[in-house]
Amino acid sequence: MTTVEASTERRWRWPIEIRLEPRLTQPAWLGFVVSLGAVALALVLGGIVLKLVGGDPLRAYRFMLMASFGNLGVISDTITKATPLILVGLACALAFRMRLWNIGAEGQFFAGAFGASAVVLTPLLAPETSGVWLIPAMMLAGFLAGAVWGFLPGFLKARFNVNEIISTLMMNYIAVAWNNFFIFAVWTEGGFQMSRVFPRTAWLPRLADYAKAIPEFRGLTAHLGLVIGLLAAVVVWWVLYRSKWGYEIRLIGDNPKAARYAGVNIVRNTVLVMMLSGGLAGLAGMSEISGVVHRLQGAISPGYGFTGIIVAWLAKLNPLAVIPVSVLFGALILAGREIQPSGLPKMIQGIVLVCLIASELMIRNRLRVTFRPVRS
């Protein structure tokens, strides 16, 4: 028997009813497919916006594809852009796993660049020091500087429950100003807004330098930072899924109350994870300074810290998945440099994230379509 309407007048109802029901099982491929769908949807929406401002979406996308994967040279450039993204993506994925919303990766990146530069410019090590000592020293300094930058918001959160989103964000602005001071006032070179160029020993070697025999590789920009990033990805993966600490992190992220009940020290973990996250982002800063820019200046990041957030989310916080996603976004950033309007890459990134979040609905639920008679 069907129910009868409360009101006496007949009401016309849609013949199709679409409802969402929670899924009972989640096949492994579901997440991947849904994310793919989200990215596709984002590209479509981005294309629509582009059309609205008078651009040609298809041409723009084709251009971007060629500009990032069209030949070996640009592929290398894409990888170069992806390198810091891997590290920042790892930083964000690690923190987000514990529901620590580290939005300060950009500032920690700058801090890391500062730390690495300080080794060379102060100088903490003599300029004649061989690269074998200098590079690891810069790495350490970059990591530590980033870790310090992550420590403060972590501590404030652990102790006073200060919202880490805002505190890390504020630290971003502070980091930029801090670096600027040193760039303009302390380490300035000839009155320009940048430091002097680092000595050769402080440059991260290019990967092509290890394959000098192959002529096609000459001049390719990809540098050792990539290796650092890949190693870091493996380490973070191991920590999260195979170590005790990683178990605690995942437990806290899933249910902090249960973690407390299990005797996990949330305060300590909050601070440690923020420091490690900051350190990874700082390492990204060091990698960019030493591998690409070779000096300290104001413009060292097209927003890597923020893109890293989106990379982490698209990779579903999985450290290994961060790698291919970083390449994708590295391509986006690279190709976006020469495109009009200049805000396009940022816009696409933002829309991708929105679509991604909206699409998560489809991972937890499925549609149920039922047909009903038009009139009851």
Partner 1 sequence: MVPHAVEMRGVTKRFPGVLACDSVDFELRQGEVHALLGENGAGKSTLMNILTGLYRPDSGLILVDNTPLSFRSPRDAIRAGIGMVHQHFMLVPSQTATENILLGLGEPRFWMRLRQYNQAIAELGEQYGLMVDPRAKIWQLSVGEQQRVEILKMLYRGAKVLILDEPTAVLAPQEIEELFKTVRTMAQGGKSVVFISHKLDEVLSIADRITVLRKGKATASGLATRESSKAELARLMVGREVLFHLEKKHRAPGEVVLAVEGVDALNDKGLPALRDVSLTVRSGEIVGLAGVAGNGQSELAEVITGLRRLTRGRVRVHGEVMVQDRETRGDDTLVRRMIDSGVAHVPEDRTHVGSAPNLSVTDNLIMKGYRDPPVSHGWSIDSSVARSQAESLRSSYDIMTPSVETPVRLLSGGNLQRVILAREIGTRPKLLVAMQPARGLDVGAIEGVRRLLLEQREEGAAILLVSEELEELMELSDRMYVINGGQMMGEVRQADAATIGLMMTGTRLADLPASVGKGP
Partner 2 sequence: MDPIIILQAGVATGTVLLFATLGEILAERSGVLNLGVEGMMLFGAMSAMSLAVRTGNPWLGMLAGMFASGLLSQVHAIITIQFRADQVVSGLALNFAAVGLSLVFGEGLSKAGALALLPTYTVPWLNQIPALGPIFFTRQSVMVYIGYLLIPLVWVYIHRTRPGMHLRAIGEFPAAADALGINVARLRHFYVFLGGMLAGVAGATISLAVSPGWFSELTTSGQGWIAIGLVIFAQWDPVRAAFGSYAFGALRRLILDIQGPTVLLGLRNPFYYNPYWGFFLQMIPYAFTIVVLVLGSREAMRKRLGSPAALGFPYVRGERGL
Judged by the rule CB under 8 A, the positions of this chain that interact with partner 1 are 1-6, 21-22, 24-25, 159, 238, 242-245, 247, 250-251, 254-255, 257-263, 265-268
* Nearest alpha-carbon partner for 236 in 172, 161, 322, 313: 322
| CB nearer to partner 1: pick between 254 and 338 | 254
Closest CB 71 distance from partner 2, rounded Å: 28
Question: From the CB of 22, what's the least distance to partner 1, in Å?
Answer: 6
CA torsion, points 286, 291, 297, 301, in degrees to nearest 10?
A: -70
Decide whether 48 or 58 has the Cβ nearer to partner 2. Answer: 48
Contacts of 25 by beta carbon, 8 Å cutoff, 6+ apart: none
Which is closer to partner 2, CB of 168 or CB of 290? 168
CB of 345 to partner 2, least distance (A): 8
Residue with smaller CB distance to partner 2, 131 or 350: 350
Q: Which of 144, 154, 146, 143 is nearest to 252 (CA)?
A: 154
Contact criterion met (CB below 8 Å) for 296 and 113: yes
What would the two tokens of residue 358 be? 């909206």
Nearer to partner 2, 198 or 313 (CB): 313
Residue 166 beta carbon to partner 1: minimum distance, rounded to whole angstroms: 23
Closest approach of Cβ 1 to partner 2, in Å?
A: 22
* 82 binding partner (options partner 2, partner 1, none; Cβ < 5 to 8 Å by kind): none
Q: Please choose which of partner 2, partner 1, none residue 171 contacts, taking the beta carbon within 5 to 8 angstroms, the exact cut-off set by kind.
A: partner 2
Give the phi and the psi of residue 102 in degrees, each rounded to 5: -80, 95
> Which residues, in sequence order, are CB contacts of 41 under 8 Å at separation 6+?
355, 359
Question: With CB cut-offs between 5 and 8 Å by kind, which of partner 1, partner 2, none does residue 338 bind?
Answer: none
Q: For partner 1, which is the closer residue by CB, 66 or 262?
A: 262
End-to-end Cα distance, the chain: 11
Residues 6+ apart with CB under 8 A from 134: 119, 120, 125, 201, 202
Give the residue with the Cβ less far from partner 2, 79 or 92. Answer: 92
How far apart CA 302 and CA 286 sit, in angstroms, is 15
6 binds, among partner 2, partner 1, none (CB under 5 to 8 A by kind): partner 1
Q: Minimum distance between the CB of residue 19 and partner 2, rounded to whole angstroms?
A: 10
Minimum gap (Å) between residue 322 Cβ and partner 1: 20
Q: Which does 263 bind (CB under 5 to 8 A by kind): partner 1, partner 2, none?
A: partner 1
CA 4 – CA 11 distance, rounded (Å): 11
Supply the minimum distance, in Å, between the C-beta of residue 279 and partner 2.
21
Rounded-to-integer distance, Cα 348 and Cα 290, Å: 29
Site of interaction with partner 2 (CB under 8 A): 20-22, 49-50, 53, 101, 103, 156, 160-163, 165-167, 169-171, 173-174, 177-178, 180-181, 184-185, 306, 309-310, 313, 340-351, 353-354, 356-358, 360-361
Name the binder of 59 from partner 1, partner 2, none, CB < 5-8 A by kind.
Answer: none
Paired tokens of 189: 């070179």
39 three-state secondary structure: helix
- Residue 163's binding partner out of partner 1, partner 2, none, with CB under 5 to 8 Å set by partner kind: partner 2
The minimum distance between CB 226 and partner 2, in angstroms, equals 26
Rounded to an integer, what distance in angstroms lies between the CA atom of residue 90 and that of residue 104? 13
> What are phi and psi for residue 189, nearest 5 degrees?
-110, 115
Q: How far apart are CA 266 and CA 272, in angstroms?
A: 10
Using the minimum distance from each CB to partner 1, give the nearer residue, 200 or 364.
364
Residue type for position 47: G
Q: SS3 for 193?
A: strand
